[in-house]
Amino acid sequence: MEGIEVRIANNKKGKGLFATKQFKRGDVILEENPLVSCQFAWNAAYRYLACDHCMRPLETPEQNVRRLSNKQDIVLPHSNCFESDLLNITSCNQCGILYCSEECKEISYATYHRTLCYIQSEAQHPINVLLETWKQIHYPPETANVMLLVRILAFIKQHSDPEAAVATVKQFYHRTVNEDAELVHKLLGEEFNSQINTLREMTANVINGEYVDEFLTPEGFCSLMALVGTNGQGIGTSPLSLWVNSVTEQTMSDDERQQLDLFIDKLYQYIEEESGQFLNTEGSGLFKLQSACNHSCQPNAESAFPYGNHRIQLRALRSIMPGDEICISYLDECALQRSRHSRQKELAENYLFICWCDRCISQRQDPECTSEEEMSDEEIDADD
């Protein structure tokens, strides 16, 4: 892609994404669709209805806010333009699963769905058995879905050149066997040994055969699970967010703007009271270029999903010069504001690396203490 390249990074980070031209603040560095993506299992179970391929929500902003707030009388101004997004909803002729468009249906079938098509009402179908087992292992808040792994295997099985597909998947590998096991332990919890074996056997009941069987051995499955856990980019899509972005860009008087802001604040208050923080259709995807971005505690780029589906966009947060490494933050905004010690601790536990970004280097003389925000109330009280 123009303006960027993937090459070996310094500081023992392996590969990284680098600029080959200048990007100004706000510039789009790249856009790409994932190799595969998948909605989280519990998110789907809680009626966050979405396209099975691109994760575009299958409801209007008004329907979305009424469901999340449990207030059926809410009327959103300027929301009728979003109704056209639902006119092309279609379904698989065999299993009835929903798509936002014929295009998504065709891409899905050609990429992985032909292998995974099944009648969802059959409780004992291997996919349903696997999903229900996964849901009992991995409660919300979710960070992964075993079906993303299954779709990777189906992608390989359906590919016109399975060997090339295997090589594409293995490009995401960059850890040792022991590191894979440690990451899976973190993902699944204390019972991960028995759980991963159960998941492996159930996955093999869903899909197996030439080219995918190497990923169904104990070691191969552990590596694939670790790949999903570390390279899976979280995806969040929301009709309400699209509406908010659209309506706030409209020209209006200061008084109208103030009234709109108050209305939006009230909407989010209603939603928080009814649904808490679970606002979005959520899932994860595997992106070839974006996954090459290394972490920095002072990132120069950030990822977003501006189209309300799984297509990712990487934007520059500040000026990036040719030769600069393009870095994002693996930590959320709250964690990013914590002490160097707290950031290092979270990165070591979840990603198995020590950060040597410019910010961490400049703070290396700071006290090795945990941020107060991260400590429990009991720990804070004990220190007083």
Sheet containing 28-32: which strands, arranged edge to edge? 28-32, 312-316, 301-304
Distance of CA 38 to the CA centre of its chain: 9
Task: Give the model's confidence band at 25: pLDDT under 50 very low, under 70 low, under 90 confident, else very high.
Answer: very high
- In 3D space, the residue among 82, 62, 84, 191 whose CA is nearest the CA of residue 136 turns out to be 191
Tokens 């040994």, located at residue: 193
Burial of 153 (0-12, 13-18, 19+ CB in 10 A): buried
> How would residue 375 be classed by pLDDT, with cut points 50, 70 and 90?
low
Q: pLDDT at position 377, please?
A: 40
Alpha helices (H) along the chain: 41-45, 61-69, 102-108, 114-116, 126-137, 146-158, 162-170, 177-188, 192-206, 218-231, 239-248, 254-275, 333-336, 340-351, 358-362, 377-383
Whether the bond between 141 and the residue before it is cis, its omega within 30 degrees of 0, is yes
Cβ burial, residue 246 (10 Å; 0-12/13-18/19+)? middle
pLDDT > 70? residue 370: no
Q: What is the pLDDT of residue 71?
A: 95
In this predicted model, what pLDDT tens digit does every residue of 131-165 receive, in sequence order? 999 999 888 888 889 999 999 999 999 999 999 99
Q: What is the pLDDT of residues 89-99, one digit of tens each?
A: 999 999 999 99
Residues 6 or more apart in contact with residue 138 via CB below 8 angstroms: 41, 42, 144, 145, 187, 188
Q: Record the pTM.
A: 0.88
Q: What is the pLDDT of residue 94?
A: 94
Residue 332 has pLDDT above 90, yes or no: no
pLDDT at residue 3 greater than cutoff 60? yes
pLDDT surpasses 60 at 373: no
More confident residue, 294 or 185: 294
